[in-house]
Copies of this chain bind each other. A is one copy, B any other.
Amino acid sequence: MKRRIRYLSIAALAGLIFSIVSVRFAIAQATSNSVPFIGAQVFIEPGQTPQEIDHWFHILQQNGLKVARIRMFETYMHKSDGTWDYSLFDNAFQSAEKYNIKVIGTLFPATPFSDVGGFKFPQSEEHLKSIANYIQHVVTHFKKSNALLAWVLINEPGGGVPDTKYSTQKFNEWNAAHPDSAFNAKGYPIVNFDQERFQVYYNTWFLSWLAKEVHKYDPGRPLHVNPHAIFNNASQYDFPAWRKFLTTLGGSAHASWHFGYFNRDEYDVAMSANSEMIRSGAGPLPWLMTELQGGNNIYSGGVPMCPTKEEIAQWLWTIVGTGGIGAIFWTLNPRASGREAGEWALLNFQDQPSDRLQSTSEVAAVINKNSQLFAQAKVDESGISILYTRESMWTEEDSQTRGTYYEGRAVGGVMKSAIGYFETLSEMGIQSDFKEIGEYDFSGADYTGKTIILPHQVAIPAKYRADLENFVRNGGTLIVSGLTAFYDGHMHNVMQTNFPFESLFGGNIKEFKLVGNEFELHINNPYMTLPAHLWRGTIDSHGAVPIGTSNSEATAVINTFGKGKVVWVPSLLGIGARLKGDEPLASFLNEEATSSISNIDFRFQTWQEGMMLKTLKSGSSFITIVINKSNRIKNIELEMKKSLRPAVLFANKGGSALGRHIIISPEETMVIQWK
């Protein structure tokens, strides 16, 4: 009876948060007043002794880490004679209980030993049944433990759909239910992206199926999942749809695997952007970072590394500064065999804390010491949102051809364009949202002080025209660059056939012309030169006011629309800033996004190369997180709306704050409370 009620309420209150007694820890986390936690994966596998396992949980407790994630290997529970032996994992749960550590269990149905990350989709109807059977056994058994906090439905969903009979059958079923014409309403042939849309559907379907199976046996238990490689895989995820069955959203954000679009001295920004994307995906749900790199790479990792203790602090505070309710390292102890063996861990080979775990412990201590402050802290919104679209990523991927490499037309051009703005704002001390366009709330009535940036989003589905018009009409500022809106959502080039954004943008594109990897784009009044990349667009203005020209053709315009305005520069400024430095773009944004920027509580007084600032609001005080990734000591002046006084909560290189001035060393992270 209870189950049915629970289940109904989930359906009825999609997006709301569970709060039942049996998951009391989750309550604190999932409601607004929770203290951010730090955790680590305890990698449980046969061969380990109960004493070793116990030691690891003890270590967590000793270092202020409150959560362990455990991969619940079916392979190590389900014996070849069909019986189940949970003892290895029972040991772990018992130690967790002993040291008051909460456990997040990752469902991990049987898969070959060499399959390090686990499968993402069922392989057959029988496989699906076998997964259901696994869930029944594991969930029924472990839900009894007081240590159990939540289930991760599957590890790192996303990646290619395998070419199997089963997935073909699923595709055919889906396709039959979603018939799609090869022509649009005007009669033009279109690309219907059926494979891509199916993949989005299929991920959501499988996750929701898993959620349903888990709740059959453990109703009301918080559910979680960790999408990975977000800068590449974002086009496969429909986060808003996931909110219906998830309690929290998370992510895997491994420096050596997932930050390939960034240099190492930008990994703090990478973590920040990744966090913002997960935060946006979570919407009203709480979010946490499910995996971040704990230790050294040997053979694994695309850009192998060992995080420094400073990076560990930067990443943790970046997550806290983005409103994350938790961060879990991969891993506490290393796997013993096969791929990843001896890698990734916070512990050294003597099971003693590395400098990285010590750094983690220091961060945990500051949070725990100021638990009330952090429990009430919320992201201090800047009002600036960078939007990407799934359809732009699909279009880009579908359009690839062999040839000269240019970032702007290769896979990643869409995402890197967005990142270019994110980095620029970050060096201005401004934290912007980073959202799939479908995650933006277009239902408002007043967008005064809000800015949306659409950087080289080549495909804008038709349905967003009204949303964007509404946004600007009601006071918003829209900044558009690159080949944004070149296609609609079906790879149909709308610029040549009655451009739907003519009235909003104040004109039409005449032509895009490939200029070269780098070129200069001039803006008048105030005069500035922006580095741009690849193509220059020229505008046939219908009402918009040119603010930049090339050979007497407009290359940048501003269009007043309703109470708002659109700034349109159809050249690739985001990648231009990445290639040649983002100070000019910062100046440009300062000029054009004033309505938002002038309302921001904290930011850098001037553009600061290699610096990052994030701001939380907690009651009447603010918390700023400042990170210095430049190679010199910085003496920085903050621009503040209110006159508050600083108190340094954390500084791991002796940084200090006086009035609105901060002195901070290279690689240092400072956390300052202002009141």
B-binding residues in A (CB < 8 A): 45-47, 113-114, 182-184, 186-191, 256, 295-306, 333-339, 341-342, 348-352, 354, 396, 399-404, 406, 409, 483, 486-487, 490-493, 495-497, 499, 508-514, 535, 540
Measured CB to CB, the nearest residue on chain B to A399 is: B299
20 residue pairs from A and B, CB less than 8 Å apart:
A46-B183, A46-B189, A256-B403, A295-B511, A296-B511, A296-B512, A297-B514, A298-B409, A299-B399, A301-B401, A301-B403, A306-B514, A333-B496, A337-B491, A341-B492, A342-B496, A349-B499, A349-B508, A350-B508, A351-B496
Measured CB to CB, the nearest residue on chain B to A88 is: B187
Asked if residues B402 and A535 are in contact (CB atoms below 8 Å), the reply is no
CB neighbours (8 Å) of A305 from chain B are 514
Chain B proximity of A632: nearest CB distance (Å): 21
Measured CB to CB, the nearest residue on chain B to A483 is: B298
Asked if residues A403 and B302 are in contact (CB atoms below 8 Å), the reply is yes
Q: How long is the Cα–Cα vector from A614 to B351 in the complex, in angstroms? A: 48
CB neighbours (8 Å) of A399 from chain B are 298-300, 339
Q: How long is the Cα–Cα vector from A350 to B507 in the complex, in angstroms? A: 11
Q: How long is the Cα–Cα vector from A667 to B47 in the complex, in angstroms? A: 57
CB neighbours (8 Å) of A511 from chain B are 295-296, 306, 348-349, 354
Q: How long is the Cα–Cα vector from A113 to B349 in the complex, in angstroms? A: 56
Q: How long is the Cα–Cα vector from A496 to B342 in the complex, in angstroms? A: 7
Contact partner of A304 among B45, B182, B514, CB < 8 A? B514
Asked if residues B349 and A513 are in contact (CB atoms below 8 Å), the reply is no
Chain B proximity of A251: nearest CB distance (Å): 20
Given contacts A183-B46, A298-B409, A514-B296, contact A342 B486 (CB under 8 A): yes
Q: How long is the Cα–Cα vector from A513 to B345 in the complex, in angstroms? A: 11
Chain B proximity of A345: nearest CB distance (Å): 8
- 9 closest A-B pairs by beta carbon, nearest first, are A47-B188, A299-B399, A302-B403, A342-B493, A341-B493, A306-B513, A47-B187, A337-B492, A46-B187
CB neighbours (8 Å) of A182 from chain B are 113
Given contacts A297-B514, A535-B298, contact A188 B508 (CB under 8 A): no
Asked if residues B191 and A338 are in contact (CB atoms below 8 Å), the reply is yes
Q: How long is the Cα–Cα vector from A617 to B535 in the complex, in angstroms? A: 42
Q: How long is the Cα–Cα vector from A184 to B47 in the complex, in angstroms? A: 8
Asked if residues A299 and B400 are in contact (CB atoms below 8 Å), the reply is yes
Asked if residues B349 and A403 are in contact (CB atoms below 8 Å), the reply is no
Asked if residues B191 and A337 are in contact (CB atoms below 8 Å), the reply is yes
CB neighbours (8 Å) of A184 from chain B are 47
Q: How long is the Cα–Cα vector from A296 to B510 in the complex, in angstroms? A: 12
Asked if residues B298 and A188 are in contact (CB atoms below 8 Å), the reply is no
Asked if residues A304 and B337 are in contact (CB atoms below 8 Å), the reply is no
Not counting A302-B402, A304-B409, A348-B511, a sample of 19 additional A-B residue pairs whose C-beta atoms are within 8 angstroms of each other reads A46-B183, A46-B187, A47-B186, A296-B511, A296-B513, A298-B486, A299-B396, A304-B403, A304-B404, A306-B512, A333-B496, A336-B492, A337-B490, A339-B399, A339-B401, A341-B493, A342-B487, A349-B508, A349-B510
Which among A46, A399, A493 has the highest number of chain B CB atoms within 10 Å? A493
Which among A334, A348, A351, A352 has the highest number of chain B CB atoms within 10 Å? A348
Asked if residues A350 and B540 are in contact (CB atoms below 8 Å), the reply is yes
Asked if residues A403 and B337 are in contact (CB atoms below 8 Å), the reply is no
Asked if residues A403 and B303 are in contact (CB atoms below 8 Å), the reply is yes
Asked if residues B298 and A512 are in contact (CB atoms below 8 Å), the reply is yes
Chain B proximity of A262: nearest CB distance (Å): 13
Measured CB to CB, the nearest residue on chain B to A257 is: B403
CB neighbours (8 Å) of A113 from chain B are 182, 189, 191
CB neighbours (8 Å) of A302 from chain B are 401-404
CB neighbours (8 Å) of A406 from chain B are 304
Chain B proximity of A498: nearest CB distance (Å): 10
Asked if residues A334 and B401 are in contact (CB atoms below 8 Å), the reply is no
Asked if residues B304 and A341 are in contact (CB atoms below 8 Å), the reply is no
Q: How long is the Cα–Cα vector from A404 to B486 in the complex, in angstroms? A: 34
Q: How long is the Cα–Cα vector from A341 to B335 in the complex, in angstroms? A: 50
Q: How long is the Cα–Cα vector from A299 to B491 in the complex, in angstroms? A: 12
Q: How long is the Cα–Cα vector from A296 to B570 in the complex, in angstroms? A: 15
Asked if residues A341 and B491 are in contact (CB atoms below 8 Å), the reply is yes
Asked if residues B47 and A300 are in contact (CB atoms below 8 Å), the reply is no
Measured CB to CB, the nearest residue on chain B to A512 is: B296
Q: How long is the Cα–Cα vector from A299 to B296 in the complex, in angstroms? A: 39
Asked if residues B334 and A493 are in contact (CB atoms below 8 Å), the reply is yes
Q: How long is the Cα–Cα vector from A189 to B348 in the complex, in angstroms? A: 21
CB neighbours (8 Å) of A492 from chain B are 336-337, 341
Chain B proximity of A403: nearest CB distance (Å): 4
Asked if residues A487 and B189 are in contact (CB atoms below 8 Å), the reply is no
Asked if residues A487 and B341 are in contact (CB atoms below 8 Å), the reply is yes
Chain B proximity of A534: nearest CB distance (Å): 8
CB neighbours (8 Å) of A303 from chain B are 403-404
Q: How long is the Cα–Cα vector from A403 to B540 in the complex, in angstroms? A: 45
Asked if residues A496 and B334 are in contact (CB atoms below 8 Å), the reply is yes
Q: How long is the Cα–Cα vector from A473 to B397 in the complex, in angstroms? A: 60
Measured CB to CB, the nearest residue on chain B to A404 is: B303
Asked if residues A189 and B47 are in contact (CB atoms below 8 Å), the reply is yes
Asked if residues B338 and A189 are in contact (CB atoms below 8 Å), the reply is yes
Contact partner of A296 among B304, B339, B496, B535, CB < 8 A? B535
Asked if residues A190 and B337 are in contact (CB atoms below 8 Å), the reply is yes
Q: How long is the Cα–Cα vector from A409 to B306 in the complex, in angstroms? A: 14
CB neighbours (8 Å) of A191 from chain B are 113-114, 337-338
Q: How long is the Cα–Cα vector from A342 to B512 in the complex, in angstroms? A: 9
